[in-house]
Amino acid sequence: MTSYKWMVDYTPQTEWINGRGILLWLAFFFIELGAGVFFVASFFKSLEAMLIGWLICGVIGGGVHIMYLGHPFRFWRMIRKPGSSWISRGLIFVSIFLTLGLVHMALVQWASSSVALVVVVDLFAFLTIVYGGFAMNSVNGIPLWNTALLPILYAVSGIWGGAGIALGVALGTGAVSTLGVSLEEWIRLLLISYIVLLIVYLISVRYTNPTGKVSVRRIIAGGYWPIMWFVVVLVGLVIPITVVAISFINGIETMPLFVLYFSILCELIGDITMRYLILKDGLYSPLISSSEYTTA
Amino acid sequence: MRWGMVIDRKRCIGCYSCMISCKQSHALPPDIFWNRVLISETGTYPTVTKQILPVLCNHCKEAACVDACPTGATTKREDGIVWVDADKCVGCRYCVIACPYQMRTYYADDKKEYWPGQGLSELERFGREEFYPIQAKTVVKCNFCIERLDKGQAEGLKPGKDREATPVCVNACPVTARTFGDLDDPTSNVSILIKERKGYPLHHEYGTEPSVYYLD
């Protein structure tokens, strides 16, 4: 980037998506997805899904996040500023969730867990799902992120993805008629909520300020438009909607397993891709206000 | 007390002296700039204006980077200087993202040399290891030449008036476009300049209350 562009042009953030920054994109996704799986699985008392969610969050998400740090062995220092830093709060939420989640799963397996513990674990699982959205939302220099809708969008997508994987586990364990039906209802509601929220989010950012407008334009019509329309919309939304509609009409038991698995995979691909675009097209405003000068 | 700087854009000639003196005095590696001079053209022919904007860390009163830092590595001193304690920094780069002025840099590679393929020269090695060591895998930024200010004040000198206690970019400017002083003192040179010439910070709408002001 030539330095003058920085002064008069919209410049994308790069630290959280380019180079090793790609790890942070994956970390946020897997941490929130894993917590989402656990959150949904605990409602349906599916120990297998809870364990998978815990592993996705703690091992994959946590591992990738630590790998991203410049000094990974100092990661424990990141809990020191919960009063103001969302990254600090997030690490605390994740740590409590993983610890209590492990205790809860052990009790479910070998004794019996209490309702109070489930409530607390689910609360921290939910906070784990939303903290990434809040961490981005608090960056006031990037209008695409600096909106209250982003944490809500991430909460819905985290739980939606979690419900998808929990459904996959239910299909794998042959619990289609029991868990599968209920999970499919969850997915139906979450899918509709996600689509509505995504549209409202993009429209609201579009009308926030000129930088937000450019960010949204880049997402839907910029260099990554094929990714937006073919991967996010077609693969991530249209295919799952079609599968959900057919299963709603005919019943989930009539659906071939590979179609359901394929739909879950499409849903996850769409979600992670949308998160990529949100990180990639997070733009800073020019240092000199665009209303003050017209760029050459 | 709150140290601040005023940059007169009418005086600035875009000579890069501030940028080079900063790089030299902190032995900054390639691609790391704590001071930059941004030069561009705005407008459309025939009404084109050359824009020169020297930029550095704004040492904001309500610094977004201080709030964002999860480890407490970035802190604000009582005199308003925002600085990074490299021993506490984990390199999460949340502060880099949080700064709306993009004034922070993640120092990733301490082996990167000015003459690629030839290894670090003696001067580079001395600069990085002894003269002004900077820890790799941490975030770095302008610190208003904190070491000069502290040393100068300990010797009874006054920052902004005595060269030995003033940031090098201010000293290096050949047209005195930069002025350094106490923003909390209404009789200081910076406060008077801001008041008389309607000094403005960059992006005041973010509510960060920068300590670097510009004059047009």
Would you state the pLDDT for residue A78?
Answer: 94
Among B168, B180, B216, CA closest to B18: B168
Would you state the pLDDT for residue A287?
Answer: 86
- Residue identified by tokens 């992006």 is B203
Would you state the pLDDT for residue B48?
Answer: 83
Q: B-side interface with A, Cβ within 8 Å?
A: 36, 38-44, 48-49, 51, 53, 55, 64, 66-73, 88-94, 96-102, 106, 108, 136-138, 202-203, 206-207
Which tokens sit at B202? 């960059």
Q: What percent of chain B has pLDDT over 70?
A: 100
Residue B179's H or E segment, with its range, is strand B178-182
Would you state the pLDDT for residue A173?
Answer: 84
Does the beta carbon of A112 lie under 8 angstroms from any beta carbon of chain B?
A: no
pLDDT tens for A206-236 read 999 999 999 999 999 999 999 999 999 999 9
Instruction: Check the CA dihedral A73-A76-B66-A202 and report its sign.
Output: positive
Cross-chain residue pair A85–B51, CB shorter than 8 Å: no
Count of residues in chain A: 296
Asked if omega into B46 is within 30° of 0 (cis), the reply is: yes
Min CA distance, B202 vs chain A (Å)?
A: 7
> Least CA distance to A5: which residue of chain B?
B40
Residue B66's H or E segment, with its range, is helix B64-68
Residue A260: which pLDDT band, with cuts at 50, 70 and 90? Answer: very high
pLDDT tens for A119-133 read 999 999 999 999 999
Does the beta carbon of A43 lie under 8 angstroms from any beta carbon of chain B?
A: no
3-state secondary structure chain A: CCHHHHHHCCEECCCCCCHHHHHHHHHHHHHHHHHHHHHHHHHCCCHHHHHHHHHHHHHHHHHHHHHHCCCHHHHHHHHCCCCCCHHHHHHHHHHHHHHHHHHHHHHHHHCCCCHHHHHHHHHHHHHHHHHHHHHHHCCCCCCCCCCCHHHHHHHHHHHHHHHHHHHHHHHHCCCHHHHHHHHHHHHHHHHHHHHHHHHHHHHHHHCCCHHHHHHHHHHHHCCCHHHHHHHHHHHHHHHHHHHHHHHHHHCHHHCCHHHHHHHHHHHHHHHHHHHHHHHHCCEECCCCCCCCCCEC
Which tokens sit at B130? 């002894």
- The Cα B104–Cα A181 span in angstroms is 51
Would you state the pLDDT for residue A292?
Answer: 47
With a cut of 50, say whether residue B156 has pLDDT above it: yes
Does the beta carbon of A156 lie under 8 angstroms from any beta carbon of chain B?
A: no
Cross-chain residue pair A13–B93, CB shorter than 8 Å: no
Contact B135, B73 (CB under 8 A): no
Would you state the pLDDT for residue B198?
Answer: 95
Q: What is the DSSP letter of B198?
A: T
Would you state the pLDDT for residue B41?
Answer: 78
Q: What is the pTM of this model?
A: 0.92
Average pLDDT, chain B: 94
At residue B149, what are phi and psi to the nearest 5 degrees? -60, -45
* Mean pLDDT of the region A170-183: 79
- How many whole angstroms from its chain centre is CA A145? 13
Contact B120, B113 (CB under 8 A): yes
Tell me how far apart the 2 most distant CA atoms of chain B are, in Å: 54
Which tokens sit at B170? 């201010």
pLDDT tens for B187-207 read 999 999 999 999 999 999 999
With a cut of 90, say whether residue B209 has pLDDT above it: yes
* Mean pLDDT of the region A147-166: 96
Would you state the pLDDT for residue A57?
Answer: 97
Contact B76, B4 (CB under 8 A): no
> Least CA distance to A279: which residue of chain B?
B97
pLDDT tens for A11-42 read 999 999 999 999 999 999 999 999 999 999 99
Would you state the pLDDT for residue A3?
Answer: 52
Would you state the pLDDT for residue B144?
Answer: 97
Nearest to B88 among A6, A77, A142 (CB): A77
Cross-chain residue pair B202–A287, CB shorter than 8 Å: yes
Nearest to B67 among A70, A77, A84 (CB): A84
pLDDT tens for B4-50 read 999 999 999 999 999 999 999 999 999 899 999 998 877 788 888 88
CA angle B157, B177, B11 (to 5 degrees): 160
Coil/strand/helix, residue B22:
helix
Residue A154: which pLDDT band, with cuts at 50, 70 and 90? Answer: very high
At residue A95, what are phi and psi to the nearest 5 degrees? -60, -45
Would you state the pLDDT for residue A189?
Answer: 94
Would you state the pLDDT for residue A220?
Answer: 96
Residue B111: which pLDDT band, with cuts at 50, 70 and 90? Answer: confident
Within 8 A of A1 by CB-CB distance, chain B residues are: none
pLDDT tens for B127-151 read 988 899 999 999 999 999 999 999 9
Within 8 A of B91 by CB-CB distance, chain A residues are: 69-71
Amino acid in the structure at residue B108: A
Cβ neighbours of residue B110 under 8 Å, at least 6 residues apart? B29, B128, B134, B136
Contact B164, B152 (CB under 8 A): yes
Cross-chain residue pair A85–B70, CB shorter than 8 Å: yes
With a cut of 90, say whether residue A5 has pLDDT above it: no
Q: What is the DSSP letter of B195?
A: H
Which tokens sit at A115? 């309702």
Contact A190, A156 (CB under 8 A): yes
